[in-house]
Amino acid sequence: MTTMTTGTSRADANRRRILDVALAELLRDPDASMDQIARAAGVVRRTVYGHFPSREALISTLVDEAVEALSAAHAAGREGVREPAEAVARSVLAVWAIADRYRLLVALAQRTVTMQGIRERLAPVREASIGLLQQGLEEDVFSSPLPAPALAYVHEQTLFAVMEAVNDGLLAAQEAGRCAAVTVLTAAGVPASKATGLVAKLNA
């Protein structure tokens, strides 16, 4: 039993190391091969394939972990905040605090996981956003011709677009969180001056 437990622990540690190294390698070189990842992780190629049958499977697992981290940040950002605009702004800022680590991964994942796959993974985050947006629309904090579910899609795509803008060198990474939060709020009908002031206060 002890031998089996030790073997399992070693396998889990190897898997964790492969994932951590793979994320770093793919962010450094989006075309990094399984061989490169194995060398960087200090394991043989067979070990990597023992955990992940393909490069796509490895990237898919990394995307799952990224979505889990982003979902947790989104929930933590809005926790205990009653006012819808502040809750939305806090959740975007919280997501962006860790999203910079994953933005290149998301761009890479679009080649393998597909945007539909990413949308499906983000369903819980979207549902939470819909609730916030619906509350804001009912309280006239937000104003949009779009119903809350459609507006949540617009916000989601806005965040992806901001990630791409940073990836393409059109926006400084250190400005992205603030810009994303203000853009999301203005898309929901919050006046630009009010959105900018709120985000500046929260981001101080």
Stronger pLDDT, 116 or 90, i.e. the higher one: 90
> In the predicted model, what is the mean pLDDT of residues 90-103?
86
pLDDT at 119 > cutoff 90: no
pLDDT at 194 > cutoff 90: yes
Q: Is the distance from CB of 88 to CB of 71 less than 8 angstroms?
A: no
**Each residue's pLDDT tens digit, 13-71:** 888 899 999 988 988 888 889 999 999 999 889 999 999 999 888 988 888 888 888 88
> pLDDT confidence of 195, banded at 50, 70, 90?
very high
**Percentage of the chain modeled with pLDDT above 90:** 52
pLDDT at 155 > cutoff 60: yes
Closest-CA residue to 62 (of 48, 74, 75, 76): 48
pLDDT at 150 > cutoff 50: yes
Please provide the size of the chain in residues.
204
Provide the pLDDT for residue 191: 96
Token couple for 123: 């369903």
> CA–CA separation, 80 vs 120, rounded Å?
26
Closest-CA residue to 184 (of 95, 65, 107): 95
pLDDT at 114 > cutoff 80: no
Provide the pLDDT for residue 172: 93
Question: Helix/strand/coil (H, E, C) string of 23-53?
Answer: HHHHHHCCCCCHHHHHHHHCCCHHHHHHHCC
DSSP conformational letter for 191:
-
Closest-CA residue to 99 (of 151, 176, 34, 191): 176
**Scanning the structure block, which residue is given the tokens 């999203």?**
99
Provide the pLDDT for residue 100: 75
Neighbouring residues of 95: CB distance < 8 A, sequence distance ≥ 6: 70, 73, 74, 77, 159
> pLDDT confidence of 113, banded at 50, 70, 90?
low
DSSP conformational letter for 93:
H
> pLDDT confidence of 4, banded at 50, 70, 90?
very low
Q: Is the distance from CB of 25 to CB of 32 less than 8 angstroms?
A: yes
Q: Which amino acid is at 192?
A: A
Provide the pLDDT for residue 189: 96
pLDDT at 111 > cutoff 70: no
